[in-house]
Structure 1
C-alpha cells in the first residue's frame, strides 16, 4: 500500500509551493537518485529556450522545482530569480495557489509575492484571448495531472495550445509523472458530450503524462479546425509508468494524497450523482456516502462539514452512510463496483443520478442506462473494449516512457 500524505503536510506543502523561495536565487535543481526527474527540474534543457523571450506561465501550486534537502521553489520564482522575462501567469481550476473549491469561479488578480498579473482560465475565460497573449513570445505549461479525462487541467492545456496556435506563439510543456499512467480504462467520450470535462475522444483514464497527451492532441488534429501548436515537451528522466508515483504536492484541495489520486478514476464518477465522495472530510475521494444509503448494508458513516476546497459539500451537516476506502488497494482500472453498490443499496425513492452531470463525467449517456438496467461491472467493461483498443493504437504512437 502506498503511504499517503498527511493533511498537515498537505497544508504545509501547499503553502511552500505557492510561495516559493524568498532567497532571490535561481532554483537549485535536484531530486533523489531513484525518483523521476521532472521537466521543471531540467533547467539546463529549457532555460536556453526562455532567455530573451517574453514568457507567460500556466501554473498552480504543483509547479515547483525540487531541490535536494531544501524546500521546493515555485517555478515562477525560479524563472524570475534566473532573470527570465516572465510577464504573466495563467491560473487553472482551483487558482494559482490551488485553494479554490472545485467548480468555483476563479477571479483574475495579482500574485502577492511576485506582483505578476494572474489571468484566470477558470472564470470568465476558459481559453486565453488574443489580448491575454499580446506581447508574448512563449507560453510555458507546468501542472501536475492525474490522468483522468474530467480532471480539468487537460482541458486547460488543450485550450491554451489552441489559443497559442491561433496566435502563432510556441508552447513549452514541462512534463510530470501521472500516478494513473499505467492503465487505460473507462468509456470513450462521445462527441455529443464534448465540453470542459472532456474535449477529445479519449477514455476516462487515458494512461499518459501531460507531455505525451499534448503531443497526441496536437498531432491528431484535435485542436479546433485541425490547427497545430508549435509544441516542445521537456520529457521526464528516470521515469517508468509501471512504477507507482507518490504525489509530493496535492494537485487540488480535494486530492489530499496519493490514495485519493489513485481512487479518483473510480470515485470521480460520484460527482455526477447526489452521493458525497468524501468532500467535507479529511478523506476526500477515499470514501463515499449519502443519507439515503442503507445503514444495514453500509456500516461506515460520516458527516460532511465545510472545509478548504469544499465550502458547501453535498449533504453538509447530515449523517451519510457509505464505505471507507482509505485502506483499500487502489485498482489499476476504473472500478464500478462502488458506484453500482451505492445505486443498488439506496432508498429507491431517492434521486441518485444527476443525469446531465453524470453524462458529462462519463462522456456517454450509456453508462447510466447500463447501471439502471442492472448490468454488472464486467459486462459494462466488456462494452468499452472496442473503443479502448482503438484508442490504445493511437496512444501507442505518443508514448515516451516504458
Structure 2
C-alpha cells in the first residue's frame, strides 16, 4: 500500500502545477472583448430611451459602426456628438468640426470640438442617456478625454445618464511624466493626472466623477462596461487609427514623447507617410534622414516646414516607448548651439507638459535623470489616488 503522506504530497504538487500552468496561460489581443462588443451588458440600459452617442471612426462592433449596430438592435439613436477629428475621423488636428446630418442614417451630428464643447440645454432635453465609445491612446493631451469630461459635466447638469464603453489603453503599462498643475489647465490637459496616466477611459470616467473634477459630479448617473480578458500590461495594437496623424502602433508609441515638438519649429512628420515617427528641421540638421512634408487634406493641410527638405532622425523602427525625452533634450541643445530659438511657443509647451517646470528644467540644463526624478513623488501619490477607480490589475 502506498504511503498516504507521499500520495498527498504528490497530489499537492500536481494541483500546484496545474494552477501554475493555468496562471501562465497567455491571453492574446484576439481574446479581448471591448465594452462595445458585450452588447448583452448594455443594451438593456438603452432600450426605450433616447440615446446620444459620442463616437468616431474607432467606435466599431465586430466590423460595424456602433451607430449602425445600435440601429439594427432597434435602439432609438437621436443624436451623434463629434469630437476633434470629426465623426469619421478625417479632420486634421485642430481643424473646425461642423454640425451636419449623417448621410447614411439621417441622424443629426453636433460638434463638441471648438467653441461649443458642451451641447445646449435644448439638445440635452431631448436625450435620456449619452454613450461614450472612443478609442483613446492613454496620453493626457489627447483631447478625446477632454471631450468626455465636458459631456459628463453636461450630463450631470441635465440629469442625463452617462455610459462609457471601455477600450484598452495601448500605452496602459506606463504611468509617467509630470502631474498637471491646474494653473495650466486647458483642452489639452483637463485633470491633475500624469502625462501618461495608465488608465482606460472608463477608469478615468470613474475617477473624474469620484474626485469631483466636474460640476455636479455627485448627480451624474455613470455606468461603465469594462473590457473582458484585458490586463493593463498587455500590448494592444489599435484595429482602427484613432486620428489621421496616428496611423499605426509605432506612431501611438512615440506620440507621448514626440508631441512636445509641436511647440517648437521641428517637424515630427505631419504631411508625410510617417507622422509622429520622424524628427527633422531644415536649418538645424538633426540627423541624416531626409524627408519633405507636403499638404495632405484631412491629415495635414498646411504642415510645418511644408515643401522643404528636412534632415533628421527616422524612428519608424525605434523601440522607444512610454515617455522618453532624450531626443527632445538633445534637439534643444542642438538648437541652442546653432543660435536658433527652440521653444517657439513656450505657452503651448507648458500646456502640453501641464507645467512650466519641464521647459525651465531643460533650459537650465538639467539632466534627463534629474528631470525624471522631479515628478516621482507626484506619480506615487497619483497611483494611490487612482486605486479605487481601477477596473483591471496593475
Match of 2:318 among 328, 334, 357: 328
Task: Provide the rounded CA distance (Å) in 2 between the counterparts of 1:33 and 1:180.
Answer: 14
Per-residue CA deviations over 1:3-26 (Å, capped at 9, x if unaligned) read xxxxxxxxxxxxxxxxxxxxxxxx
- Compute the displacement of 1:228 (Å): 4.5
Runs of 5+ unmatched residues, structure 1? 1-31, 67-71
Q: CA RMSD in A?
A: 1.3
- Compute the displacement of 1:227 (Å): 4.4
Question: Are residue 315 (structure 1) and residue 315 (structure 2) matched?
Answer: no
Runs of 5+ unmatched residues, structure 2? 1-27
Match of 2:48 among 41, 45, 52: 52
Q: Where do 1:3-402 residues align within 5 Å?
A: 34-66=30-62, 72-224=63-215, 226-294=217-285, 298-307=287-296, 308-331=298-321, 333-346=322-335, 348-353=338-343, 354-402=345-393
- Compute the displacement of 1:73 (Å): 0.2
Kept in 1, the 8 Å contact 2:135–2:167? The answer is yes
- Compute the displacement of 1:241 (Å): 1.3
Q: Tell me the SS of whatever aligns to 1:283.
A: coil
Runs of 4+ in structure 1 over 4 Å off: 225-228
Are residues 33 and 279 of structure 1, via their aligned partners in 2, closer, same or farther at CA, if it must alter by over 3 Å? closer
- Compute the displacement of 1:293 (Å): 2.1
Task: Provide the rounded CA distance (Å) in 1 between the counterparts of 2:165 and 2:191.
Answer: 21
Per-residue CA deviations over 1:151-201 (Å, capped at 9, x if unaligned) read 000000010000000100010000000100111001111111111011110
Q: Tell me the SS of whatever aligns to 2:37.
A: coil
Task: Provide the rounded CA distance (Å) in 2 between the counterparts of 1:226 and 1:170.
Answer: 12
Kept in 1, the 8 Å contact 2:179–2:354? The answer is yes
Number of matched residues?
Answer: 363
- Compute the displacement of 1:92 (Å): 0.3
Kept in 2, the 8 Å contact 1:107–1:123? The answer is no
Task: Provide the rounded CA distance (Å) in 2 between the counterparts of 1:378 and 1:131.
Answer: 52
Kept in 2, the 8 Å contact 1:219–1:228? The answer is no
Task: Provide the rounded CA distance (Å) in 2 between the counterparts of 1:161 and 1:330.
Answer: 34
Task: Provide the rounded CA distance (Å) in 2 between the counterparts of 1:57 and 1:152.
Answer: 17
Task: Provide the rounded CA distance (Å) in 1 between the counterparts of 2:29 and 2:165.
Answer: 20
Task: Provide the rounded CA distance (Å) in 2 between the counterparts of 1:253 and 1:79.
Answer: 26
Task: Provide the rounded CA distance (Å) in 2 between the counterparts of 1:59 and 1:33.
Answer: 22
Task: Provide the rounded CA distance (Å) in 1 between the counterparts of 2:386 and 2:338.
Answer: 41
Q: Tell me the SS of whatever aligns to 2:290.
A: strand
Q: Which protein has the bigger helix share?
A: 2
**If the length of structure 2 is used for normalisation, what is the TM-score?**
0.90
- Compute the displacement of 1:350 (Å): 2.0
Q: Computing the radius of gyration over CA atoms, which structure comes out larger, 1 or 2?
A: 2
- Compute the displacement of 1:35 (Å): 2.8
**If the length of structure 1 is used for normalisation, what is the TM-score?**
0.88
